[in-house]
Chains A and B, each alone.
Chain A
Amino acid sequence: MQASLPLTAHRSLRERWFPNGEWVLAVALAIEIAIFAATAKNFFTAGNFFEVMRLSVELGLLALALTPVIVTGGIDLSVGSMMGLAAVSFGAAWRDWHWPIPGAALFALLLGAAGGALNALLITRLNIPPLIVTLGSFSMFRGIAEGITHGAVNYSNFPPNFLYLGQGYWFGIVPVQFPIFLLALAGYAILLHRSIVGRALYAIGFTAAGARYAGIPVARRIGLMYFLAGVVSAVAAIVYVAHIGQAKSDAGTGYELAAITAVVLGGTSVFGGRGTIWGTIFGLFSISVLQNGLHLAALPSELTGVLTGTLLVVTISIDRLHGRAQQKATQPKAAILEETETMKNSQLAVLCGAILAGSLIVAATNVWLVHSLDRTAGGTGGGSAATGGHRAVIAMMPKAKGDPYFVSCRAGAEEAARELNVELIWDGPTGLDPAKQNEVVEGWITRQVDAIAVSVENQAGISTVLRKAREHGIKVLTWDADAAPDARDYFINQATPQGIGFTLTDEASRLLKGKGEFAIITGALSAANQNLWIGFIKQRVAEKHPGLKLLTVRPSDDDRDKAFTETQTVLKVYPDVKLIMSIAAPAVPGAAEAVQQANRRDVDVIGLSLPNLCKKYIHDGVVQEIVLWNTKNLGYLTVNTAAQLAQGKLQKGLTSFAAGRLGKIEVRGSEVILGAPMIFDKANVDQFDF
């Protein structure tokens, strides 16, 4: 049991303000800030301070709402999903039902309240543990959001005075959404620390049965917190929509775990009974400062996860070990049970400390390694062409790091960067959170890179931040997928969605000889690109190939194993299916393996994927062909164009330019054309290595 319920009157200042070891975190945060201020460019500025604030508002709101929930000993996993549901219902009310913005916002809030009430009802009236209830509503809320929008509907083009809420500044520097966060912060601080309800929450978390005997209406107090969590999630959703400029069913993906991390990092005990709002704020900012600092120092985003995990374990271990030492000092004759356990395991605690120290050293050496590699790469490049004093910095972003498709683009990008002696920063989202791309670009603007090249995940969402980059004098390119034309200087066009959709459909028709049934295995149901392609595939089937029939669209979530299982089911449910069209890179090998294992020689597999992933299946005759472009050349051309643009070598209105080893490249308007999509089959697949 935690012995820190502050009942005694005389406490030291530290105990009074940081009863749960938040000081450990405050120290960690200070160290973080010191390190980044020394190493990361433009980190320690007022502008960046407010940027960090702005990017933490949505997550911060959820973390605030979760603090009292966790103080009562509960948990709410559904807050991120509720954000998705509230966002799409807000968008639907505004665009489809033509409600005014305040009406739509009210509707979203009511929905959040209803969702929170559902959780509260199941938890307090039916006595089902919160983890289970919110695990169910976690699936259900997101599922409803996907169901009503088919994952694809993207509400955007909101009026500017609404977008001001998420993108504007007061006095040119203070983000508009910041006061909302302060208001919620004040509300929750008063509720938790200065009200009778707050005291009741601690009592409930400490022991629910005891609280009942003390005359506290336990169920009502607990229920209120889940209800509020639902409402606050809806508020976060509205801020999020105004910030990103779009409402889609994937809003807030993964936010629940990030928010819980912030709360727990801040010293709130998951067993309930202890924790403070201040701790949560410290936790929140140690995570967002870490992310922001890594972007500004141009270190890979994956470090965020590794360092957050380490920070979490280390701060809580220090707090636990410190707390135990103190307990031993003040209560030499503690309960027998506690005493024996502590004695027996003290050596093991040391051991675990050693493990932690080890992991820290590993993390630190990795950081150092990355740094030194950067330096050596820069050193050799600088020697060969030491003409200009300033090396252009080009920041390039894929849709998702770790996707094999983008990994192969990166190889070409690095080749071009070496050739032209420019510094290449390659970073992007590691998860499915659509707001991440904006966050990374914001970091690059603060870092003042020379050119930014983005493979756009959400057109409506990213265009605003790209315009902001252009206002700051940064050259902006898009590659792979385009933003709004006025938000960038050039688009490196490897193939239009229309071209991809039409080519795939024409190839399918050719293989099926104009007649037959086919099924599509897509990426995630809400993936913007894939949904665009599916639209063009349907259009082409209706216009040109009436003999083809699309049976079903199944998701693979970019998971090979899921694509495999889905294809197996499709083959059985639709025995007449003659062709599987997989339009996500990991889905083609998954579908091919399923067709091969089912021994269905009559079923063709085509799709969009990388030659290296499909070589084996193409040679086995399971996959007939895949459609793609030369991804290495795409990365090469992007960096080449960006470098020439940053060095002022490309004039407006030119129709072609020389791009290194690719020779003369055509420019149409503001689109740089890579060439037509290629078809890889048995004959040519071995010539490519990516």
Chain B
Amino acid sequence: MLERWRREISVAIAILALMAVLAFVAPGFFSPENQSDLVLANMPVLIVALGMTLIILSGEIDISVGSQFAICSVAAGLFAKMGLPTPFAGLAACLTGAAMGAINGALVAWVRIPSIVVTLATMVALRDALRWATEGAWVQDLPPGFQWFGLSQTGSRVVTIAIAAALVITTAWALRHMAAGRAVYATGSDKNAALLAGINPARVVFWVFVITGALTGGAAFLNSVRFSQIPANAGINLEMKVIAAVVVGGASITGGRGTIAGTTLGVILLGDIGPALTFLGVSAYWERAIQGAIILAAVAIDALRGRAGRYAGKLAAHGA
């Protein structure tokens, strides 16, 4: 049991160590307002990370989520301005994301271009296309029912957090107990074996990209309703944050290994480091160096603890 959750436990220990330091030096970190602010601030990363976990589990990667996020944010705003009721604007944002995910997925699954190449291309192309189309203009004068879904601030926080929690639990459950979830693991472990077991790996890969696109759209929508205007450059560097969180959370970059619990812990660790360092009075100029060092330390300690998994062997498996 312990061995199975080795990686998740490593991350949990790192979080607890950070919390212990904070409890002594800056107890204000644990105030309810700060905690709820932190949850909301990391909610987009968490929702996108759910999709990214699926993609990484299936042995692929998607670095275009930041650009998708920006397009979906603007799209949600434009749909709302066209007079669509707020929930439908959200749905439309999800569909926009799913459509972009479908392009990525089709190119990866059926044209069989490596996912890092496809999404590198769509990352650059989508971001520049949006810049070209909007020329940097923000979406303003949103209908009054858009911010906070037309609810009170607290009410909308509850709704947002509930939606995020429901998504986490559903994904975790589906991944463990549904046939489709097991198919994702099987595809990431060995595509040929999965095919022989009656799974169509190409279809699995296509759908995980579509789901990630839809989740990115949802995250962009839930993030947009927190504000009264929508910038055209949202989600810059989102892909790096999300991939780092999934990988720190123990998912194997070569596919087939990883859990939603680990991803959630990864998001918590990386999302808390920044504000925690501010609470500890660390200068902003050193934050990035410390974050990088923590990521490296986390994976290095984990690697030292379990040197059994030979990278060379995994690399060979990945090439197949």
User: A residues within 8 Å of B by Cβ?
Assistant: 1, 73, 75, 122-123, 126-129, 131-133, 135-144, 146-147, 150-151, 205-210, 212, 218-219, 257, 260-261, 264, 269-273, 300, 302-306, 308-310, 312-313, 316-317, 320-321, 337, 340-341, 345, 348-349, 351-352, 355, 366, 401-404, 406-407, 430, 525, 552-555, 557-561, 564-566, 568-570, 572-573, 586, 589, 593, 597-598, 612-613, 616
Contacts and interface: CB of A to CB of B under 8 A. Distances in A.
Given A137-B296, A146-B289, 10 more contacts: A1-B320, A126-B304, A128-B311, A306-B128, A317-B113, A552-B278, A565-B275, A569-B278, A586-B231, A612-B140
Interface stretch (B8-16, B79-87, B117-125, B167-175): B117-125
Contacts of A352: 106-107, 110-111
A345 B122 CA distance: 22
B159 interface: no
B319 A273 contact: yes
5 contacts: A73-B318, A122-B303, A303-B128, A568-B37, A597-B153
Which of A127, A205, A264, A349 has most B Cβ within 10 Å? A127
Which of A136, A206, A261, A366 has most B Cβ within 10 Å? A136
A308 B253 contact: no
Interface stretch (B90-98, B129-137, B179-187, B209-217): B129-137
Interface string B262-298: 0000000000000100110101111111111101100
Given A129-B253, A147-B285, A349-B110, A316 B117 contact: yes
Which of B28, B124, B196, B288 has most A Cβ within 10 Å? B288
A320 to B, nearest CB: 6
A405 to B, nearest CB: 9
Contact of B41 (A131, A209, A568): A568
B233 A73 contact: no
A126 B202 CA distance: 33
A151 B286 CA distance: 10
A292 B124 CA distance: 18
B316 interface: yes
Given A143-B290, A572-B28, A132 B227 contact: no
Contacts of A564: 41, 227
Contact of B26 (A273, A403, A559, A573): A573
Interface in B302-317: 303-304, 307, 309-316
Given A210-B316, A552-B284, A597-B153, A305 B113 contact: no
Contacts of B132: 300, 302-303, 306, 366
Nearest to B153: A597
Nearest to B293: A140
A555 B283 CA distance: 11
Q: How large is the interface on B (under 10, 10 to 19, 20 to 34, 35 or more residues)?
A: 35 or more
A606 to B, nearest CB: 19
A304 B128 contact: yes
Contacts of A341: 195, 202
Contacts of A146: 285-286, 288-289
Nearest to B279: A573
Contacts of B126: 309
A128 B300 contact: yes
A525 B114 contact: no
B31 A572 contact: yes
A616 B228 contact: yes
Contacts of A138: 240, 292
B232 interface: yes
Given A135-B247, A568-B41, A597-B153, A143 B124 contact: no
Contacts of A271: 114, 318-319
B292 A136 contact: yes
A427 B63 CA distance: 27
A210 B313 CA distance: 10
Contact of A404 (B123, B137, B292): B137
A555 B304 CA distance: 35
A402 B252 CA distance: 37
Given A126-B304, A132-B253, A151-B285, A306 B120 contact: no
A310 B278 contact: no
A75 B116 CA distance: 11
A452 to B, nearest CB: 21
B120 A140 contact: no
Given A139-B292, A597-B153, A525 B107 contact: no
Nearest to B303: A126
Nearest to B309: A127
Contacts of B189: none
A140 B292 contact: yes
Interface in B32-66: 33-34, 37, 41, 61
B112 interface: yes
B236 A310 contact: no
Contact of A128 (B112, B244, B281, B303): B303
Contact of B284 (A205, A340, A525, A558): A525
Given A135-B247, A558-B233, A568-B41, A312 B121 contact: yes
Contacts of A270: 114, 116-117
Interface string B220-241: 0001001111011110110010
A206 B284 contact: no
Given A303-B132, A341-B195, A561 B234 contact: yes
